[in-house]
Structure 1
Amino acid sequence: MPTVWEDMGGAMGLFYSSFPVMVFVLVNSFAGLMPGIWSAVGVGVFFVIFRAVRKEPIKPAVSGFIGIAISSFIAYRTGSAKGFFLVGIWFSLACFAIVALTIVFRYPLVGVLWSVMNRVPMKWKKDKSSVYGYDLATAALAAVFGARFIVQRWLYEEDYTGWLAFAKIAMGYPLWGLALIVVVWAIRRADKRIKQREAEEGPEPAEETDEQVEARLREKYAQTPDQST
């Protein structure tokens, strides 16, 4: 299974998502909004074609291009360079709310996703300490989204387009790297506690199949005396 870093494209994924942003800010400052938009979109298209020609996975480049295309459209519609960052700002707020709610409802997102990805039951729900660990890990993700919204929203209101670009890049993978440390800690801690509990309590009895239930019932009825005589 690929790691989170690999799934995001690694160092090149970071480059594909950040370089078009820098191109937009640079061209916009010298040539204006529309040249900046077309330059960013052009760079995004180039990355997709470049990866396809080299027969490399295009997912990181395509993901970056989609983000650039949506941001460019918003900037065009608003007629302002700072509109380029508007979608990302509100997306961070929406993600913060969703992630935080999973903690409130006692289904921390990190634990749920880990169980779903590995197709294992959520045994950690029965262990308060494991739930607490997953709460902390999920809170770390929420903190990333919350910090991105607060800082970038303030820069947006103050019309600091250049600093918006810097914040978008600086508060991307570096912050995710810090949050990932907490996530890995919580996962390893929960797995260790689950294994310890299973060792202490012994294996859970296997669930009977439909055939086993039917055979057991037939045997039970066969051993029951006939009360009609």
Structure 2
Amino acid sequence: MTEADAFAKSTDEQARQTVEAAVRTQLSKALGGVRGTVESAVPTIAFTLSWLITHDLRLSVGLGVGSAVLLLVVRLAQRSTVQFVLNSLFGIGIAAFFALRTGKAEDAFLPGILYNAGYAAAMIFSIVVRWPVVGFIIGSVTGDPTAWRSNPAVVRLCSRLTWLLVLPCLLRVVVQYPLYLAGMVGWLGTAKIALGWPLQVASFGAMIWLLARGRTPLEQPAAPADGEPGARPAPGD
């Protein structure tokens, strides 16, 4: 086994020791690092700036989609993961479809507003029924997608973490939907950028702070057998 393999194995074993470590590990993968975060914002920036300068919808859409394609080409040339660029390309593609279909620049932002509203509703529902979305991150680490629900401490932690994912989505809808109704494209683009990756990073930062405070075991400690230290006496003993 090489040193790199040994380090990877050691890191993986540490990530499995506590819920907090497991979630931190998975969140770092989900963010895609600084590069993945920036790549998700570039198409929106290109579209918004072009619209503010030219008020040419087709040109603005072309620059937004073109910037995403260019980022994809760079990723392919470097033979690095294209997951985050593809997500960005898909998003700007849907936005372009909506805007070009109606001829209104503000409609480019409607899919994002609807997505955040639906995402927030789904996550709140998962918390209410005590199947918080973040819990499935634990399942992806342990290999059992539902075992985490047997540990009340894990369920509570995952509910709190899921709320931290809900709040940015709700804030985006509350701020952007009135701007959409007013047709304020410039402010919509500004709000989308400001409430995009900066808010997401802040949300993940809050999650990491919460995770750093606790050490919730991934597995429930086994109940001590009768006669072992710590065993509770049976009723009537």
What TM-score does the superposition give when structure 2 sets the normalisation length?
0.73
In the other structure, the counterpart of 1:102 is 126
Q: How many correspondences in the alignment?
A: 200
Match of 2:49 among 2, 26, 37: 26
Q: Percentage identity across aligned positions?
A: 27
More helix by share: 1
Contact kept in structure 2, 1:71 and 1:87, CA below 8 Å? yes
In the other structure, the counterpart of 2:113 is 89
For residue 216 of structure 2, what is the amino acid of its counterpart? D
In the other structure, the counterpart of 1:119 is 143
Instruction: Note the residue ranges of structure 1 that are not aligned, 5 or more in a row.
Output: 204-229
- Do structure 1's residue 152 and structure 2's residue 176 form an aligned pair? yes
Change (3 A) 1:202 1:164: farther
Change (3 A) 1:139 1:45: same
Contact kept in structure 1, 2:138 and 2:145, CA below 8 Å? no
- Do structure 1's residue 173 and structure 2's residue 212 form an aligned pair? no
Q: Deviations over 1:44-69 (max 9, x none)?
A: 11111122122222222222111111
Instruction: Note the residue ranges of structure 2 that are not aligned, 5 or more in a row.
Output: 1-11, 13-24, 226-237
Give, in whole Å, the separation in 2 of the partners of 1:55 and 1:127: 41
Give, in whole Å, the separation in 2 of the partners of 1:126 and 1:42: 48
User: Matched residue of 1:57: which SS?
Assistant: coil
Change (3 A) 1:57 1:113: closer
Q: Deviations over 1:120-156 (max 9, x none)?
A: 4655434444322222111221112111111111221
Change (3 A) 1:124 1:44: closer
Give, in whole Å, the separation in 1 of the partners of 2:221 and 2:140: 20
Contact kept in structure 1, 2:139 and 2:148, CA below 8 Å? no
User: Matched residue of 1:191: which SS?
Assistant: coil
What TM-score does the superposition give when structure 1 sets the normalisation length?
0.76
Task: Give the stretch that moved more between structures: 49-58 or 82-91.
Answer: 49-58
In the other structure, the counterpart of 1:13 is 36
Match of 1:70 among 94, 101, 120: 94
Q: State the Cα RMSD in Å.
A: 2.6
Contact kept in structure 2, 1:111 and 1:187, CA below 8 Å? no
For residue 123 of structure 2, what is the amino acid of its counterpart? V
Contact kept in structure 1, 2:106 and 2:185, CA below 8 Å? yes
Give, in whole Å, the separation in 2 of the partners of 1:45 and 1:126: 45
Q: Which has more radius of gyration?
A: 1
Give, in whole Å, the separation in 1 of the partners of 2:168 and 2:128: 17
For residue 113 of structure 2, what is the amino acid of its counterpart? I
Give, in whole Å, the separation in 1 of the partners of 2:142 and 2:190: 36
Alpha-carbon distance, 1:86 to partner: 0.7
Give, in whole Å, the separation in 1 of the partners of 2:149 and 2:215: 10
Contact kept in structure 1, 2:46 and 2:63, CA below 8 Å? yes
Change (3 A) 1:159 1:130: same
Task: Give the stretch that moved more between structures: 3-12 or 84-93.
Answer: 3-12
